Amino acid sequence: MSPEIRAFFDEATNTVTYLVWCPDSRHAVVIDPVLDYDHASGKVSTHSVDRVLAAAEDEGLTIDWALETHVHADHLSGAPLIKARTGAGIAIGEHVKEVQKIFRPVFMADDLKGDGADFDRLLKDGETITIGNDMDIKVMHVPGHTPADVTYVIGDNAFVGDTMFMPDYGTARADFPGGDARTLYRSIRKILELPPETTLYMCHDYKAPGRDEYAWTTTVAEQRANNLHVHDGISEDEFVEMREARDATLKAPALIMPSIQTNMRAGRLPPAETNGVRYMKVPIELPHTAGEDELAR
Ligand SMILES: [Fe+2]
């Protein structure tokens, strides 16, 4: 069964959300939904999820799952809103437990158990989710960018999350806590073992030098021939050297702090303080040139 696929691009975070459905039964999943969040003002809006749900309603779809490819560090997840409005469950790779264990102490997130129970379903490598009558979604564990990344394979289509980007842009960074360039290379090679005609759906696009339009679909064959960082012939060691050197030059994503503390909770915003207001936490690192006694008395 070939799925129907519609993409929604969020220019504020360069993220692509996918609505994927079985044309027969009209059961659907949403992959990587976005909650609109302005960190400067703390304002949240629901525009991105609204447009996905409006399209689902137009098509007469029943959304069964909001699927996360990983705990994103560049946008807040819209999955809880999809769940609240449709009754869909929220699923992610089972290694999210490792991500929770890494970041729970960073954000003093004592409400988290670190067992992944905040999600409705934890997916194992090789597991299949069946949507409607016969739309099978196969889960591939593809760690490296984070420990918990998964790719969702549906027929001749693969939703690769943050592993590769378009061929002219390359690959995802591997320097977040729990990330690893060598592991990322092996995961990418695993995806590139899929049949050459497989269509690959990116999680992000940032354009690229010489390209003025956003783009988010390519194929295994195109990636193997042309991906800037991992085309056929680039060895694991060459990739690791390139990736680590490049990662050392990258700044933290603008929304990394609010994104991680929200998304590791399956997209739940941090708990309210006693005044009823929710706050995002930013752990502060003091400089070597000034200590607690000077700056934090
Ligand atoms: Fe990511």
Looking at this protein, which amino acid is placed at residue 21?
W
CA–centroid distance, 71 to ligand 1, in Å, is 7
CA–centroid distance, 172 to ligand 1, in Å, is 7
CA–centroid distance, 119 to ligand 1, in Å, is 18
90 exposure class (CB count in 10 Å sphere: 0-12, 13-18, 19+): buried
Provide the pairing of β-strand 199-201 with 157-159: parallel
- Distance in angstroms (rounded) separating the CA atoms of residues 7 and 186: 27
Nearest to 86 by CA among 37, 49, 123: 49
CA–centroid distance, 162 to ligand 1, in Å, is 5
Looking at this protein, which amino acid is placed at residue 135?
M
CA–centroid distance, 51 to ligand 1, in Å, is 22
Question: Contact, 4 vs 24, CB < 8 A?
Answer: no
- Distance in angstroms (rounded) separating the CA atoms of residues 265 and 116: 8
CA–centroid distance, 146 to ligand 1, in Å, is 8
Q: pTM of this prediction?
A: 0.96
Kind plus residue range of the DSSP H or E element containing 188: helix 181-191
Q: Enumerate domains of the chain plus CATH numbers.
A: 4-271 (3.60.15.10)
> What b/e readout covers 92-123, taking b as 16+ CB neighbours within 10 angstroms?
bbbbbbbbbebbbeebebeebebebebbeebb
Is residue 297's pLDDT more than 90? Answer: no
Least-confidence region, from 18-22, 147-151, 227-231, 292-296: 292-296
Return the pLDDT at 69.
98
Residues 39-89 have pLDDT tens digits of 999 999 999 999 999 999 999 999 999 999 999 999 999 999 999 999 999
Return the pLDDT at 187.
98
Residues 167-218 have pLDDT tens digits of 999 999 999 999 999 999 999 999 999 999 999 999 999 999 999 999 999 9
Mean pLDDT value across the chain: 96
CA–centroid distance, 296 to ligand 1, in Å, is 33
CA–centroid distance, 158 to ligand 1, in Å, is 16
CA–centroid distance, 253 to ligand 1, in Å, is 10
CA–centroid distance, 73 to ligand 1, in Å, is 5
CA–centroid distance, 211 to ligand 1, in Å, is 22
Dump the DSSP string for 229-262.
TT-TT--HHHHHHHHHHHHTTPPPPTTHHHHHHH
Question: Contact, 264 vs 92, CB < 8 A?
Answer: no
Nearest to 78 by CA among 33, 43, 38: 33
Residues 123-149 have pLDDT tens digits of 999 999 999 888 999 999 999 999 999
CA–centroid distance, 259 to ligand 1, in Å, is 10
Mean pLDDT, residues 231-247: 98
Return the pLDDT at 277.
97
